Amino acid sequence: MLWRLFAIFWLCCSPALAEEEQVVLGLSQDRVAITANFDGSEILIFGAVKRESPIPSGPPLEVIVAVAGPSSPVTVRRKEKKLGIWVNTDSVLVDLAPSFYAVATSAPLTKILSDTEDLRYRVSIERAIRSVGAAMHIRGAQDFADAVVRIREDEGLYSIREDTVAVDEQTLFRTSIEMPADLTEGEYVARIFLTRSGSVISQFETTIDVRKVGLERFLFNMSRQQPVWYGLMSLVIAIAAGWGASTAFRLLREN
């Protein structure tokens, strides 16, 4: 009987405790359209902190914004030079890696988020990638996951942007996330974390829809759903373009 009373008390009190500070979020756009001349986009993320009581004293409120693209498995291969030729040797399947991942923070990440909370919420780039493990005979298995991070950082797909979230009076916050031109279609998940002393006190999640539109969408769907017709159409267009170019050059020479 006592434990039931305790459970009822906890259920009644925990929502009030959890709602002491909540995120109220806004986006400049919740949909990104990929067209022929698409060269990237910038998403403005802004919001406020809703409170039922005055701002707590002590450590200041910090904000972390993480935007992740669709995740998929990635096969990473190691190349080694044998007899003067670079060949593939070991390979590891990284279980899940986001196609795009950006983290913006109001202060250095390691100072506002503890390792325990990072492990729990998978905020840092290394924790956002899931690699269960490789075969026992493969040496340096972690190097394969690190290679995914390094390659995608060089391509501008992964980034940590510290001190780029502006927080005013521990109530209003804003930042912008730059998204490159070579985006993968799908739902991008934006997560916002409020932290104090390295602990997450509130979080909020929303999605951003990234899709091809117009002719690009039509061609993409055809290439996936009707590959034979897509190949024939591509062949006809290539022949027509070649014939048109040769005709134009011939006319120029005759004139």
Q: 73 and 45 in one domain?
A: yes
Residue 173 has pLDDT above 90, yes or no: yes
Instruction: Look at residue 38 and tell me if it is in a domain.
Output: yes
Structural domains counted in the chain? 2
Higher pLDDT residue, 2 or 169?
169
Residue 10, amino acid: W
Q: What is the mean pLDDT of residues 197-221?
A: 75
pLDDT of amino acid 73: 87
Q: 245 and 153 in one domain?
A: no
State how far the Cα of 218 lies from the Cα of 136, in Å rounded to an integer: 45
The two tokens of residue 223 are: 């290439």
Residue 212 has pLDDT above 90, yes or no: no
Residue 189 has pLDDT above 50, yes or no: yes
Q: 217 and 207 in one domain?
A: no
Q: 252 and 137 in one domain?
A: no
Instruction: Look at residue 131 and tell me if it is in a domain.
Output: yes
Nearest Cα neighbor of 52 from 14, 16, 10 is 16
Q: What is the mean pLDDT of residues 49-69?
A: 89
Q: 238 and 125 in one domain?
A: no
Q: Which domain holds residue 174?
A: 19-212
Residue 205 has pLDDT above 80, yes or no: yes
User: Which of the given ranges, 52-56, 101-105, 202-206, has the highest pLDDT on average?
Assistant: 101-105
Instruction: Look at residue 109 and tell me if it is in a domain.
Output: yes
Residue 99 has pLDDT above 80, yes or no: yes
CA angle 123, 125, 128 (to 5 degrees): 65
Residue 81, amino acid: K
Confidence band (pLDDT; 50, 70, 90) for 36? Answer: low
pLDDT of amino acid 109: 95
Confidence band (pLDDT; 50, 70, 90) for 163? Answer: very high
pLDDT of amino acid 144: 77
Residue 162 has pLDDT above 50, yes or no: yes
Residue 146 has pLDDT above 80, yes or no: yes
Q: What is the mean pLDDT of residues 129-141?
A: 60
State how far the Cα of 83 lies from the Cα of 28, in Å rounded to an integer: 55
Instruction: Look at residue 9 and tell me if it is in a domain.
Output: no
Q: What is the mean pLDDT of residues 152-179?
A: 92
Residue 65 has pLDDT above 70, yes or no: yes
